Structure 1
């Protein structure tokens, strides 16, 4: 079953399938037409050859009858002529004006006399498993019509040879068509390989490597080479735009962070010392401080993403024991949240190589995300285990995420519930940062979720033995 699952399904809409089918149909039609024409031509050639023999006999027969008639009666002359011309392959019989047989070959088959509507044009019939070419011609002696002479030639051997040749030709045509289709399919597959390579390049290229892409198809057709060059130029332009965008984002985030931090500090100082402020003024200052802090956090997140995109994020990788690090992270999380966080360790002393601070950022972000979207009376469970890699699972019992939206949760600024994210102060960048950090440290992150049944975020890192 495993091998069957690996077989590629045929894409009936693909260019390769359409070209192969089109050429195969044309090849079949062309070779089939040639084979049919050869069949028809050989059949006609066989009949024409025997027709010439019949015509030769028909021209000679009256002359021989006239010679014999000078010595014997007309009927005897016809019989002697038939006897001289007959053999096991050529049979003759003669019918007078009254449609009575008055002379025939000694090897005559009675069934032949029952055949009606014979004309001077030869036709093939099957009699006693033999093929006969039969025709009837009017016989004139001394320019006087005396009856009809019928000629039957046994062409069984020729017909068997003809049938054998036709079968051989049919088999050869089918084999030639099959070989041609396979050769054409391979040639089309090989010719379309550059297009497949272009698709793979376009599919696997990352945003930060757009300017480094190189598509070289020196031996490809000129049309494919032109397409590759055009795509390469387009990717380079996109890379330049991406770089400019990231640079702008980094500069703006960096420049705005400092003044906003100062503004937040002044607002908090004013709020602490504002004994003479009214309740409305204090509420307004509290909102301003909250929004300023939220904007500063957003700028911090944007800076982290910009560094990750540019490959400038600093990582101090070291070997750590995940079990100890997770306990420390849980203690940090519970300082700010009154929520039970349970640690389930299925394996002890799991070692991985990560940046401890960035690893804490990843886990705290996922724990914070689980707490925000879970009811207050539910626990957060963290499961540690290892198989071929170290696995950290963070389980919540929250609102869950519909299957159709799960692939988008790691997108920047994407929120499953816009209103709820706004209330909790989310920026829509937390999971995007988590994924960037996990990927940078050679890890993977996955999500399993069901609406109203909670979510499981699974982070995996290479295991250190």
Structure 2
């Protein structure tokens, strides 16, 4: 298992999946503000409408009381001047005599209101004013009996047009709604800015942690003051980092020491076995076969331990590389001869022009051999392997294409980890222990290059290695 230095997950992915903490806080606080301001605005509009209705009802009740009292003191034939005295541009009055139901007087400039009087639900109107909608207008209706010494003389009808006040109130409410929405937009912007500023230490720690992956420095606090919660989190992460770093270092030391000791012992065993095979003329066929198997397995274990030691040196930066301009065309030919000396596999090479890279010849040959062996291992013997060599403006590019079982997209980033292998049921059941591609990545990145893979299950894989071009190749021609 490889211990990664630093903290690799992004802080913005801690919490809900793929949800920005800044967005969540902004939406949450804005929603609370919307509910609060919306509730206050709704309550205010309701109170204003209620106050308007109550005020008009009280005014109508007062007018009805005073007019009825004046009519009670006046002879019915003289009611018209009384009504004219109280009439106003938005107030209509009428008086009906009780004995014959004749309208003795009416007053008020409400257009066509007198003609609609029979259609108005006066029977549902009492001395308590009510607001009703008539012909698209808001009308306050009131009916008041006119009595004198307990005797009913007639009835007083009042209608007050309050449509203008309702329209003004509606305009005011709409203005209030627009102002509320505008205020919410401003508040949301300010909240987003404040939250972004508050989360700046976390973003800086995220960047620092990403930059420190693979480096031996622990996570530190940003320069400016940070919240107490962030400081405690950083201290906890630093403590965890130190423990992981110490564990990883002890693991590497143990692996290197054990690999070195085992390699020495196995080299001695291999030497004795090979010596016995050369001198053992009296060995039976069964004994010779057993010794050959032991020699083969010992040789395989020695190479495995060598890979472990080299991988440990690469990860610790102790592997020395001899970088110089080399011709990748010749390296490709040599690697193919070493991997397939008997030419049992069809390897198609496409190299239209010489490509000179700035790399270590021995290590790039090793990279090629690992990738070619990997292509042979995970594809059928009758399937060809394609090797393409070309260059771009800054890179020397090697591509190795096989038509084997392929690799699922979810495992593309994991196949370069040590000891990782794609599930055996999807491919072949034989193979190594998963060090080849890890060594390839370490070597290529050690030479300032890049390695990647494109693969589709059932359609094969394409491994791409990019190496820097030699300096003289990069220089523009004069």
With normalisation by structure 1, the TM-score equals: 0.85
Distance (Å, rounded) in 2 between the aligned partners of 1:406 and 1:63? 96
Q: Please tell me whether residue 269 in structure 1 is matched to residue 279 in structure 2.
A: no
Shift in alpha-carbon separation, 1:46–1:398, aligned structure 2, 3 A: closer
Provide the residue aligned with 2:364 in structure 1.
359
Moved more, 155-164 or 55-64: 55-64
Q: Is the 8 A contact 1:448 1:455 kept in 2?
A: yes
Counterpart of 1:236 (choices 231, 238, 242) is: 242
Q: Post-superposition shift, 1:304?
A: 0.8
How far, CA to CA, are the matches of 2:167 and 2:423 in structure 1? 83
**2:256 aligned to 241, 245, 250, which one?**
250
Q: Take 1:272 and 1:78, find their aligned partners in 2: how far apart are those partners?
A: 145
Give unpaired runs (5+ residues) of structure 1.
Answer: 1-9
Change beyond 3 A, Cα 1:143–1:352: same
Matched, 1:115 2:120: yes
Change (3 A) 1:76 1:431: same
Match of 2:106 in 1: 104
String of CA shifts for 1:333-386, please: whole Å, max 9, x gaps. Answer: 44476445442113x232221111111111122222233444445543321112
Report if aligned partners of 2:311, 2:439 keep a CA contact under 8 Å in 1. Answer: yes
How far the C-alpha of 1:452 sits from its partner, in A, is: 5.5
Distance 1:359 1:17, change over 3 A: same
Q: Which residue of 1 aligns with 2:180?
A: 173
d(CA) in 1 for partners of 2:132, 2:423: 87
Residue deviations 1:127-151 (CA, integer Å, cap 9, x gap): 4554432212232324433232222
* SS of 1:146 mapped into structure 2: strand
Equivalent residue runs for 1:198-347 within 5 Å: 198=205, 205-206=212-213, 208-209=214-215, 211-216=217-222, 218-335=224-341, 338-346=344-352
Are the aligned partners of 1:213 and 1:236 in contact in 2 as well (CA < 8 Å)?
no
Structure 1 position 393 matched with structure 2 position 399: yes
Residues 358, 190 of structure 1: alpha-carbon distance in 2 compared, 3 angstrom cutoff: same
Unaligned runs of 5+ in 2: 1-15
More helix by share: 1
Give the structure 1 partner of residue 3 of structure 2.
Answer: none
Distance in structure 2 (CA, Å) of the matches to 1:435 and 1:30: 57
CA distance in 1, matches of 2:257, 2:339: 32
Q: CA deviation at 1:63?
A: 4.5
How far apart, CA to CA, are the structure 2 residues paired with 1:49 and 1:368?
94
After superposition, the C-alpha distances for 1:372-402 in whole angstroms (9 at most, x for unaligned) are 4444455433211123422111233445445
Give the equivalent residue in structure 1 for 2:5: none
Quickly say closer, same or farther: Cα 1:261–1:94, change in 2 above 3 A. Answer: same
Q: Does 1:349 align with 2:374?
A: no
Deviates more, 1:289-298 or 1:148-157: 148-157
1:409 aligned counterpart, secondary structure: coil
Counterparts in 2 of 1:137 and 1:224: CA distance versus 1, 3 Å: farther
- Distance in 2 between residues matched to 1:163 and 1:452, nearest whole Å: 69
TM-score when normalising by structure 2: 0.83
Q: Following the alignment from structure 1 to structure 2, what is the Cα–Cα distance between the partners of residues 26 and 93?
A: 53
Q: Distance in 1 between matches of 2:56 and 2:422?
A: 89
1:203-252 Cα distance to aligned partner (Å, 9 max, x none): 6653x425433343754332233222211221121111111111111121
Higher relative contact order (CA 8 A, sep 6+): 2
- The structure-2 alpha-carbon separation of the partners of 1:107 and 1:142, relative to structure 1 and needing over 3 Å to count, comes to farther
The separation in 1 between residues aligned to 2:147 and 2:229, in whole angstroms, is: 77
- Which of residues 436, 460, 463 is equivalent to 2:466? 460
Counterpart CA distance in 1 for 2:58 and 2:404 is 98
Q: Deviation digits for residues 35-76 of structure 1, max 9, x if unmatched?
A: 222222222222333334334323432453355x3xxxx212
1:307 counterpart SS class? helix
**Partner residue, 1:369:** 374
Asked if structure 2 preserves the Cα contact closer than 8 Å seen for 1:132 and 1:152, the reply is: yes
Deviates more, 1:34-43 or 1:443-452: 443-452
The answer to whether the 8 A contact 2:405-2:460 is kept is yes
CA distance in structure 1 between the aligned counterparts of 2:231 and 2:315, rounded to whole angstroms? 30
The DSSP-based 3-state class of the residue aligned with 2:215 is helix
